[in-house]
Structure 1
Amino acid sequence: MGFILFGYDDGVIGGLLTAPSFEDQFHLGSTMQGTVTSLFIAGAFCGCMASAVMNGRWGRKTIAHAGALVLSLGAIIQCSSYGIAQLLVGRIVAGVGLGLIVSNIIMWQSEISPNHIRGLLVASALSFLILGQLIAYWLEYGISNYASSFSWRFPMAFQAALALMTSGLLLCMPESPRYLFQQDKHQEATEVLRLLYTHRGIVNENGLRSTITEITEAIAIESHQATWSDLSRDDNAWSGSTPVSYYTTYIFENSVGLSYSTSLLLSGILQVWFLVASFGTWYTIEKFGRRISFMFTATGMAIVMAVLAAMIAVDTKASGIVGAGMIFLYQAFYTWGFMGGIWVYGPEIMPLAHRAKGEGLATASLWLSAFVVVEIVPVAITHIGWRVYLIFACCNLAFVPFVYFFLPETAGLTLESIDLCFMDTTTTPVKKASELRQLMKRGGEVTLDQAFEAEKHGQISAHVEHATSV
């Protein structure tokens, strides 16, 4: 439900900006359209920063629960708006709530997932994000013929219903055992892990003991390296996904040249395709790993954006059809690589002591980039047209060398053993991750015990000093 809420909020404004009743109420120009959309993202940025400052001291679940309530308040303010000022306030408040939810619920998901299917579970959660977008687009399409303000007030209000459902379900969920160990609530943490390691009444005692040992060792190693300065010390999302998510109807109408009704219909169909394509990620994210998925799909997205720019520049009926097809192909590449990958990867490479701060900052960075992109896209399309898609093509292409040289493969490794990739100063995280995965394939064991042994020989510097935020 948390990701359905995320997806719904992500997509709801896109179909409303050009709705006749919405335009009659607010009379927004292209600049103000960008502002209305981007202020939600600015609020989400603030929510993520607040989460980082709180550093998880109230738990993943509690902060996400509070975020659902704040988002509900923002939805009520938006749906009751009669002026631009109230609408903007509602967008900001709802954004803060979503920021609190997103930055914590993804950590919670990662910290209770078995290492061998962690990517699969997060990728499946991201499919529910697409389902939320799907609900938004088809709901708007279904009531688009209403001449009254109901056609946009109800979609805005429905955010609150989804948020309250999320809040209610959170009451039934266990807290993250890793957070509980951090708070010295060992008995409660062990009981949660015991339930997670129980299948048909039989407890996997070996797995349970191994996980408890790794978590407590990680806390011991990191206990003296948990300050903000340690997060950034080193002693030794501009892919185009954001405008496609927020401005699908706008792009079909203003770039491809379709009517409002056809654009809204195609936006809904696109979300169906997006959801279907996302199922492939459940398999590829663990089978091929994070690195190959990132590099392959970034290359594909770069090519698609370049072709889209060319088709819009040609500006014929045939090129418009091809351009619309490129948007569909782009969504497939994005969901196969970055849709689930970026959300699973952030919590994976952050050590436990910094996970709450780091994930808050990482998610805030994502929202900050999204804010800039969403703010400028309507104006950019108005003034430079097809050339805006070349910018996204170049950004996608730039991701490939960055991933190749700097991002270690994390598939199959436990959250605690991933820390080992950043501990060894004699090699790079990318090479160390490859060594650890080869060791696992040969039947070897990868644990934090290796860190203690290496530390005795002076081969390790503090691993937190090399932790990287996505």
Structure 2
Amino acid sequence: MLNLRGKWLVYLITVVSSTGFCLFGYDNGLMGQIISEPNFLDIIGNPNAAVQGFVVSSYDIGCMLGALAAVLVSEQIGRRRTIMLACAVHLVGDVINASSFSLAQVLVSRIILGVGLGLFTSASPVWLAETATAEMRAVMVAVQLTCLIIGTNLAYWVDYGLGFLNNEISWRVPFALQAVYPIVALGFTLFLPESPRWLAAHGHTDAAITALSALRDLPEDHELVLAEMQDINSAIELETDGSSWTALFKQGPSKVRTRVIVACAAQSMQSYCGINFVEYYFPFILKNSVGLSTNTGNLVSGCSQIWFLLSSFLTWFIINRLGRRRLFYLGNIGMGSCMIAVCITLWKDTKPSDTATVVFFFLYLSFFTWGWMSNMWTYPAEILPLHVRSKALALSVFFLWANQFWTVEIAPVSIDNIGWRTYIIWAVLNFASCIIVYLYFPETSSLTLESVDFLFSSSKDIREVVAKSENLWANSIRLEVGAAAAAATAGDVQEKAIEGGAGQSSHLEDA
């Protein structure tokens, strides 16, 4: 372990997680321009639009496989070792990808790369959620999602700059640069601590206390370290039988099945916003829907990513102030409205309306990063119980990649066949998502992970959990270390939280 403690140790874990998400963003931006480069198309045999879509979406098949692999290995070997395995797999794919000379080689390499990223994106949110405090958790995720956008920016501008060469370097170098990210992540991960929650759940109590002490920068016998360990142990005692697949689908007192469904829904609904459709194919959309030239479309796409990056910084400041549910509403209503506007401007098909289309796409990206981008990766890790967290989060990430696959696959075909009507689909799905969030997504931003467990176990169904969580949020009650038992008490949760949680919150602030 590096000689770091407290927030700086959490910050370095965030750097590792952010490196993986920077790689995620890099691939999102990478293929949008490469798939239209004549030299690359010659190498893969100049396929039709459907095959081109599959070349891009094959990465998502690998990510699905990686997410399923994480279900099998993450709980057995831990969050940290899963990330190290992910980096090793990705590096193998990098070598094959950068040396490709055929369509088959490109497809195989992209599936291997996807497996690596699927493993990484399944393990790193859990690792970060289980090491950060409740106050830091969402902001750290917002930081790593900003890094995702930085990765997309890097890909867009590397592609744009090298695209003028008109030879194999224009796409082999961007492919090879993917290897930088897993090398950096692997180097740091070797020296970082395992999740205290994973250690405690697997009987390594002393190691868990040592890791928690380092992460909180407090002595091992400090009352707050012992209180947090008690919360963790209480949650472990409440949640049993987490080793089998069937544990994911048993309801039990902790409402496990309901929580797994909510987590999978959150990851799936990210794709229903339409962001993968826009992110992967923005240069293609600008050329085929708006009518811009290839060079102008690539340039505007690069500028959109700078705007996307600048917009993301606002999320750092509002994610805890507005809470999870309100940010989901903000994102869906904003994105749905932008998609309606895009339908109208593309239908009008005039020069001023083409300019307006680009403006509304820029606004769409802002609403996504404010409402869903950080929320989507924060929320599932918060909502899931400890004993199935790694398996269930990996399953939710599988649903993310499965839904991303079909949205990426249909993009070129839908634009070719139904044109501006494509965007009506995304508008309707965004507004429908608001209803689902209102009914079934509890507010978690004011709760420790253990308090979420006890809040579910004290409620009869998901609607009661939503109501209680909204009550806590509306009254500005924050359940911190030592408050889990208060949240578990049936009846007046608010009163108990004030007695137990608010007092502990003040102790934390003093610490």
Query: TM-score if structure 2 supplies the norm length?
Result: 0.85
Displacement of 1:224 after TM fit? 3.8
Is the contact between residue 227 and residue 482 of structure 2 (CA under 8 Å) also seen in structure 1? no
Is the contact between residue 424 and residue 432 of structure 1 (CA under 8 Å) also seen in structure 2? no
> Is 1:215 paired with 2:249?
no
Aligned residue type for 2:447: L
Task: Identify the range of structure 1 (158-167 vs 422-431) with the bigger mean alpha-carbon deviation.
Answer: 422-431
Name which of 361, 385, 389 aligns with 1:327: 361
Is the contact between residue 408 and residue 421 of structure 1 (CA under 8 Å) also seen in structure 2? no
Matched with 1:441 is: 477
Within a 5 Å distance, the mapping from 1:130-145 to structure 2 comes to: 130-145=149-164
- Pair 1:373–1:190, CA change in 2 (3 A): same
Matched with 2:380 is: 346
> Is 1:302 paired with 2:336?
yes
Within a 5 Å distance, the mapping from 1:398-437 to structure 2 comes to: 398-426=432-460, 428-437=464-473
How many Å separate the matches in 2 of 1:451 and 1:198?
26
Task: Identify the range of structure 1 (435-444 vs 260-269) with the bigger mean alpha-carbon deviation.
Answer: 435-444
How many Å separate the matches in 2 of 1:100 and 1:396?
28
Name which of 2, 9, 17 aligns with 2:35: 17
Is the contact between residue 220 and residue 226 of structure 2 (CA under 8 Å) also seen in structure 1? no
Name which of 208, 216, 236 aligns with 1:197: 216
> Is 1:89 paired with 2:108?
yes
Displacement of 1:259 after TM fit? 1.0
Name which of 164, 167, 171 aligns with 2:190: 171
How many Å separate the matches in 2 of 1:272 and 1:296?
21
Displacement of 1:229 after TM fit? 2.5
> Is 1:3 paired with 2:37?
no
Is the contact between residue 49 and residue 361 of structure 1 (CA under 8 Å) also seen in structure 2? yes
1:56 match: secondary structure: helix
Name which of 56, 64, 84 aligns with 2:75: 56
Is the contact between residue 451 and residue 479 of structure 2 (CA under 8 Å) also seen in structure 1? no
How many Å separate the matches in 2 of 1:90 and 1:24?
18
Within a 5 Å distance, the mapping from 1:143-162 to structure 2 comes to: 143-162=162-181
Displacement of 1:297 after TM fit? 1.5
Matched with 1:128 is: 147
Displacement of 1:372 after TM fit? 0.7
RMSD (Å) for aligned C-alpha atoms: 2.1
Displacement of 1:436 after TM fit? 4.0
How many Å separate the matches in 2 of 1:272 and 1:310?
26
Matched with 1:34 is: 53
1:145 match: secondary structure: helix
Displacement of 1:54 after TM fit? 2.5
Name which of 313, 317, 334 aligns with 2:347: 313
Is the contact between residue 458 and residue 489 of structure 2 (CA under 8 Å) also seen in structure 1? no
Matched with 1:292 is: 326
Aligned residue type for 2:231: E
Displacement of 1:192 after TM fit? 1.3
Aligned residue type for 1:430: V
Matched with 1:229 is: 246
Name which of 280, 283, 286 aligns with 1:252: 286
How many Å separate the matches in 2 of 1:166 and 1:81?
25
Displacement of 1:404 after TM fit? 0.6
How many Å separate the matches in 2 of 1:95 and 1:350?
24
- Pair 1:443–1:214, CA change in 2 (3 A): closer
Is the contact between residue 209 and residue 220 of structure 2 (CA under 8 Å) also seen in structure 1? no
Displacement of 1:260 after TM fit? 1.1
Please give the per-residue CA displacement for 1:275-296, whole angstroms capped at 9, x wherever unaligned: 1100111111100000000012
More helix by share: 2
Is the contact between residue 48 and residue 100 of structure 1 (CA under 8 Å) also seen in structure 2? yes
Displacement of 1:207 after TM fit? 2.4
- Pair 1:88–1:442, CA change in 2 (3 A): closer
Please give the per-residue CA displacement for 1:66-98, whole angstroms capped at 9, x wherever unaligned: 111111211221221111111111111100010
Displacement of 1:299 after TM fit? 0.6
Is the contact between residue 440 and residue 446 of structure 1 (CA under 8 Å) also seen in structure 2? no
How many Å separate the matches in 2 of 1:288 and 1:113?
19
Name which of 375, 384, 403 aligns with 2:418: 384
Identity of aligned residues (%): 36
1:9 match: secondary structure: helix
Please give the per-residue CA displacement for 1:36-85, whole angstroms capped at 9, x wherever unaligned: 11110011011001111225210111111111111121122122111111
- Pair 1:127–1:444, CA change in 2 (3 A): closer
Is the contact between residue 26 and residue 152 of structure 2 (CA under 8 Å) also seen in structure 1? yes
How many Å separate the matches in 1 of 2:328 and 2:475?
23
How many Å separate the matches in 2 of 1:46 and 1:197?
35
Query: TM-score if structure 1 supplies the norm length?
Result: 0.92
Displacement of 1:395 after TM fit? 0.5
Runs (5+) with no aligned partner, structure 1: 456-470
Is the contact between residue 117 and residue 286 of structure 1 (CA under 8 Å) also seen in structure 2? no
Within a 5 Å distance, the mapping from 1:176-191 to structure 2 comes to: 176-191=195-210
How many Å separate the matches in 2 of 1:407 and 1:76?
42
Within a 5 Å distance, the mapping from 1:357-372 to structure 2 comes to: 357-372=391-406
Displacement of 1:253 after TM fit? 1.3
